[in-house]
Amino acid sequence: MLRLHDTATGTVRPFELRDPGRVSMYVCGPTVYEVPHLGHGRFTLVFDVLRRYLTFSGLEVLHVSNVTDIDDRIIERAAREGRTEREVAGEYEATWWAAMDALGVLRPTVVPHATGYIPGMVELIGDLVARGLAYEIDDGVYLQVDMVEGYGLLAHQPLESLRAGARVEASGQKRSPLDFALWKKAKPGEPTWPSPWGEGRPGWHTECVVMSLDLLGDGFDLHGGGQDLIFPHHENERAQAVVEGRAFARHWMHNGWVTAGGEKMSKSLQNFTTIDDLLARGDPRAYRLLVVRSHYRSPIEVTPETIATAGKGLARLDALARRLSLDDPMAGGDVVRDEAVAAAPGGVEQDAVTRFREHMDDDLDTAAAMALVFELVNAAHAAADDGDTTAARRLGGTVAILCGALGLRLRGEVGEVDERTQRLVGERDEARRERDFARADALRDELVAAGWTVEDGPDGTVVRR
């Protein structure tokens, strides 16, 4: 039984599903106005790992994640670059999916776009206005938060203390600085949709509540995102559901920051690294390993050094796959299901799979799960050294399945070796046969200089990049 930390209660508690066997989860997606950075990479990886683990556990997962394709920042960028909002959103959405694909993050089951749900949002807002819970002023329609039962549940602060700490002044007409925009009236030149309050566009918080309830239904299982979405975004989504009398998310899950130099990675601090930078520097799987090596609620420090360290751990996993010629459990698709455990060619280390599940069920303790995997790696090598091929393959196969369950695909192949390199390798084998070690060493230097890793095994020299 999976237990997860729930932001609403502040406790780790059983993840109880609305419909047995089926998981409905909504994860707030990107506003497509800029290239994604490592913070986006982390939250998508965290929820990808959750989704994969749920799938591995035999559950059917309906994963909805939105794209916010109309927003102030998109409008600003379009204006600055003399383009349409559609062009800007289209470009950055394409960039987003390219990054996700490179990271091995599964596409959500459904990807609603804000611009596709505007009538439903208008309907919701209209209802709130009609019932006296929202009010219209010059620049838009606002929800009156002091009408909301339990406002501050997710922030873990009562309304009064939130109000006392508010850093923004109430705009003249707002009844409280905490009241938030459900509908924003258009300024000249902005893209608009019709509404009873004039041309305009919906507020961000209204998008997600409408789309999540529409696609997943009342009382869906899990709502997630980065911790910075807790307040006000998720609080305000919940507020709308509450006043509408609709059961909202049963469980709230939020991941920790990516930090750089100890500080939160963010646009405003200019300390962010884009996912493209990461991809240019190395294997994207190293980032997944870095993410799963710590707990999802802990901050992670991401620097070239920490990524490089993760890359070495990854190399250790790949080396095992290579040595044992492990089958790829994801070969038949992009996910590893629990059937893979029974179908593993060499069998699995059943006890290890059980322990893996115990770690994962404990609020997704991927760090402990990976420690277990590395223990198996060690045991597999030791068995192989002892000549116990059966045990080695069973252990190694388990490693591949458990890594696969976390979305980490091992690379057992050495990659393409060009003709010239192949010739040098042949020459080196020949020199070694003739015990001409000076020449063998010179050839190795040449190969290393060309970027190859050279390993002499019982069957001669093997090179890889």
Partner RNA sequence: GGCGGCGUGGCCGAGUGGUUUAGGCAGGGGCCUGCAAAGCCCCGUACAGCGGUUCGAUUCCGCUCGCCGCCUCCA
Q: Is the dihedral of CA 367, 256, 260, 265 positive or negative?
A: positive
Helices 350-361 and 366-385 cross at an angle (nearest 10°) of 160
Here's the x/- map for RNA, 335-364, by CB under 7 A: it reads as ------------------------------
In the β-sheet with 22-27, what is the strand arrangement from edge to edge? 60-65, 22-27, 222-226, 251-255
294 lies in the binding site for RNA (CB under 7 A): yes
388 binds RNA (CB under 7 A): no
* Closer residue to RNA, CB minimum distance, 131 or 156: 156
- Binding to RNA in span 75-114, by CB under 7 A: none
Q: How far apart are CB 329 and RNA at their closest, in Å?
A: 20
For the chain, the first-to-last Cα distance in angstroms comes to 42
Is residue 129 at the binding interface for RNA, with CB under 7 A as the rule? Answer: no
If binding means CB under 7 A, how many residues of this protein chain bind RNA? 82
Sign of the Cα pseudo-torsion (338, 343, 345, 349, in order): positive
The binding track of 411-440 with respect to RNA, each residue x by CB under 7 A or -, is ---------------------x----x--x
CA nearest 345: which of 401, 405, 406, 408?
401
Task: Return the axis-axis angle of helices 284-292 and 38-56, rounded to nearest 10°.
Answer: 70
Residues in Cβ contact with 245 at an 8 Å cutoff, skipping those fewer than 6 apart = none
124 touches RNA (CB under 7 A): no
Of 228 and 334, nearer to RNA (C-beta) is: 228
Residue 126 as a binder of RNA (CB under 7 A): the answer is no
Q: Going residue by residue from 220 to 239, which x/- string records binding to RNA, judged by CB under 7 A? A: -----xxxxxxxxx------
Decide: residue 200, CB within 10 A, 0-12 exposed, 13-18 middle, 19+ buried: buried
Would you count residue 381 as binding RNA (CB under 7 A)?
Answer: yes
Taking CB under 7 A as the rule, does residue 31 contact RNA? Answer: yes
316 touches RNA by CB under 7 A: yes
Give, as ranges, the residues between 240 and 259 that touch RNA (CB under 7 A): 255-259
CB of 188 to RNA, least distance (A): 22
Q: Based on the shown chain and the rule CB under 7 A, indicate whether residue 398 belongs to the binding site for RNA.
A: no
The answer to whether residue 282 forms part of the interface with RNA (CB under 7 A) is no
CA atoms within 13 A on the CB side of 191: 20
Tell how far CA 104 is from the center of its chain.
Answer: 10
Q: Please give the residues from 444 up to 463 whose contact with RNA meets the rule CB under 7 A.
A: 444, 453-457
